[in-house]
């Protein structure tokens, strides 16, 4: 819903007599973000499927146990990376929504704010998946790096969401 609300607001704004000079560029970047955002869900589903398949591998012999353990480690890494990428794409969307607030008129600023709120929720939910997937990462360096990335993504999203909320309210209320 995020991209459509924000993009719709930008499209409506471009029909105005004097549209904001940056609106077309923001709209173009937003359209380019649609496919990667949509692909994020498919990537996460595939990564989860790979992990579930690894769980089903036999472990009756020492060789099978080693193969299963390696497959689980690889799948766990994929299950961690997919939601991190998704959160990064959501953050790109929030950045774009922040720009869009300044490029739309007050009558449609609520659509941008609503789209940003939905995207912030999606990013936060995605990072919950990172939290649970971190438990499957055995390599301390990989775990530490992923946790730091996760925290930084949430921090930046929190800041953007706060600014967008304030700017949306200011724009709506004049």
| Helix and strand counts by DSSP (H, E) for the chain | 5, 0
Q: What is the model's pTM?
A: 0.89
pLDDT at 174: 82
Q: Give the end-to-end CA distance of the chain in Å, rounded to a whole number.
A: 26
The reported pLDDT for the residue numbered 17 is 87
Tokens 């007050």 belong to 106
* Residue 142 exposure: Cα atoms within 13 Å on the Cβ side: 16
Q: Is the pLDDT of residue 1 over 60?
A: no
Query: Is residue 34 predicted with pLDDT exceeding 60?
Result: yes
Local structure of 15: helix, strand or coil: coil
- Give the burial class of 165: count Cβ atoms within 10 A of its Cβ; 0-12 exposed, 13-18 middle, 19 or more buried: middle
Mean pLDDT of the residues in the chain: 93
3-state secondary structure 55-107: HCCCCCCHHHHHHHHHHHHHHHHHHHHHHHHHHHHHHHHHHHHHHHHCCCCHH
User: What mean pLDDT is predicted for residues 140-144?
Assistant: 92
- For residue 148, pLDDT over 70 is answered with yes
Could you tell me the pLDDT band of residue 2, with boundaries at 50, 70 and 90? low
| Mean pLDDT, residues 93-98 | 96
């Amino acid at each position: 819903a995020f991209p459509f609300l924000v993009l719709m607001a930008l499209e409506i704004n471009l029909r105005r007599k004097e549209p904001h000079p940056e609106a077309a560029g923001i709209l173009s970047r937003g359209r380019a973000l649609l496919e990667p955002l949509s692909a994020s869900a498919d990537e996460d589903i595939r990564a989860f499927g790979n992990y579930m398949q690894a769980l089903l591998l036999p472990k009756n012999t020492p060789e099978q146990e080693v193969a299963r353990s390696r497959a689980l480690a690889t799948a766990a890494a994929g299950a961690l990376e997919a939601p991190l990428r998704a959160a990064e794409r959501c953050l790109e969307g929030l950045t774009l929504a922040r720009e869009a607030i300044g490029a739309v008129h007050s009558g449609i600023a609520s659509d941008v704010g609503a789209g940003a709120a939905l995207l912030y929720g999606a990013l936060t939910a995605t990072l919950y998946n990172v939290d649970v997937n971190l438990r499957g990462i055995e390599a301390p360096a990989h775990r530490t790096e992923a946790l730091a990335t996760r925290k930084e993504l949430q921090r930046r999203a929190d800041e953007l969401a706060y600014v967008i909320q304030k700017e949306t309210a200011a724009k709506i209320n004049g």
